[in-house]
Amino acid sequence: MKQAEKYTTRDKIMQAAEVLFMKKGFKATTIRTIAKEAKVNIALINYHFKSKEELYKELILIKSTMLSSKLDEIVKDNSLNGGEKLDKLIHTYAEFIYSNPNIARFLVSEMTMESEVARWIIKRYISKIFGKIMLIIKQAYDDGFIRSDIDISVLLPSIMGSIVINVVAFPMLQILFKKKPDELFKSKKRVEEIKDVIFNGIKK
């Protein structure tokens, strides 16, 4: 098998697995259904990933690394003050969530059920990502951008949740407001509006 063909097959399997994991959850998704979705045989999946667990972990690793590296850039950018970093954080996080809506829905679903999968994700990846976000929020607080009466531990889920809810509740929002997907949450204007709501509530 040629190297290019290996990557193509691997990508097909990853894409199919992402769709099914996010739609059905980890437990309900099987190697057989992934093979059917990817239009490959089960042996090929076992060749590339050995098990459903390994495939799942590879998928989460790729997605979390994408976000984590972008957060690292913000944390290490000494040319920005705390308020500017917080601004960039909101845009970066929104861009990631809106580009990966299935991830947001999946995480909310798994965490609601308090599954083993959710606990593994939190310990292995989410805790590290949230740690970097907290560094940014703390700098914004220390730089005097955030009001002193605000508990910054409450601020983190408030910021993240206000972005995630736009994706998770999209079907409901689309019906209620009778708008197209781009008008609801994918436009830059929408992100700016969310940021303004957050900033107006926390700024001194």
What is the set of domains in the chain, with CATH numbers? 1-50 (1.10.10.60), 52-202 (1.10.357.10)
Paired with 128 in beta bridges are none
Number of other residues whose CB lies within 10 A of the CB of residue 154: 9
- Taking CA atoms, 115 is separated from 6, 33, 110, 167, in Å, by 33, 21, 6, 21
For 147, counting Cβ atoms within 10 Å of its Cβ (0-12 exposed, 13-18 middle, 19+ buried), the class is exposed
Task: Output the tens digit of pLDDT for each of the chain's 204 residues.
Answer: 444 444 588 999 999 998 898 888 888 899 999 999 999 999 999 999 988 988 988 888 888 899 999 999 999 999 999 999 999 999 898 888 888 877 777 777 766 766 777 788 788 888 899 999 999 999 999 999 998 888 888 888 888 888 887 777 766 766 776 666 555 555 567 778 788 888 887 876
